[in-house]
């Protein structure tokens, strides 16, 4: 089977240049964000200090045991994103303890998944070269996007992941229907 980039598919279980390329770009993205978290002065790491700490409180409550029904912990009446980030951060709290670093790993995880899904979507729609260019721009993003990629809020910045997943699944569904 030929892929949109013109390469024949590799045998199952074999690594291809596509897999190595995506893995390297994901590693570059995570490493750049971890360096951002570790090397920058901690004061600007809190884009929204009270709100981010509240997401950490949700995570800590999940770890130690809820005192209210889970939906009552929502930060905003119109959005459940704070619950999603709180639940993700709870997993990192279990691994690394209730720290700022563990809290910042939840949005980093979602942004890494967003990069992977956008890469696969662009690779399917255009080709490998365009997907690599996009991934490089994503890795070396402007400062506001870099800041939001580690802001534990559960709002627009995390919706990038769900948008990427939706477009990826749409393209996949359309390619199955077309065959």
Question: In this structure, what token pair is assigned to residue 136?
Answer: 């490089």
- pLDDT at residue 144, as a whole number: 86
CB 112 within 8 A of CB 30: yes
The domain spans of the chain are 47-174
Q: What is the pTM of this model?
A: 0.84
* Coil, helix or strand at residue 89: helix
Residues 6+ apart with CB under 8 A from 99: 93
CB 42 within 8 A of CB 100: yes
- pLDDT at residue 20, as a whole number: 79
Residue 2 has phi, psi (to 5 degrees) of -90, 140
CA distance 50 to 63: 20
Question: In this structure, what token pair is assigned to residue 66?
Answer: 């809820």
DSSP letter, residue 126 = S
pLDDT 10s digits, 30-68: 999 999 888 877 776 777 888 999 999 999 999 999 999
Mark the ranges of the chain whose per-residue pLDDT is less than 50. Answer: 1-2
- pLDDT at residue 148, as a whole number: 87
Dihedral of CA atoms 143, 166, 9, 135 in degrees, nearest 10, equals: 0
pLDDT 10s digits, 41-51: 777 677 788 89
- pLDDT at residue 11, as a whole number: 53
CA distance 113 to 107: 10
- pLDDT at residue 78, as a whole number: 83
Q: Which of 118, 128, 119, 120 is nearest to 160 (CA)?
A: 118
Cα 142 to chain center, whole Å? 17
């Amino acid at each position: 089977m030929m892929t949109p980039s013109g390469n024949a598919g590799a045998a199952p279980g074999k690594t291809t240049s596509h897999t190595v390329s995506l893995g390297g770009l994901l590693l570059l993205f995570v490493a750049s964000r971890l360096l951002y978290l570790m090397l920058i002065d901690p004061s600007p790491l809190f884009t929204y200090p009270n709100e981010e700490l509240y997401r950490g409180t949700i995570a800590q409550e999940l770890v130690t045991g809820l005192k209210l029904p889970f939906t009552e912990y929502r930060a905003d009446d119109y959005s459940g994103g704070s619950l999603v980030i709180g639940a993700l951060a709870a997993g990192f709290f279990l691994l690394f303890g209730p720290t700022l670093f563990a809290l910042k790993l939840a949005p980093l995880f979602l942004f890494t998944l967003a990069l992977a899904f956008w890469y696969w979507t662009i690779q399917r729609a255009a080709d490998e070269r365009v997907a690599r260019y996009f991934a490089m721009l994503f890795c070396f993003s402007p400062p506001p996007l870099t800041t939001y990629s580690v802001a534990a809020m559960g709002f627009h910045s995390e919706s990038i992941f769900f948008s990427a997943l939706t477009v990826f699944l749409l393209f996949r569904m359309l390619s199955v229907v077309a065959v």
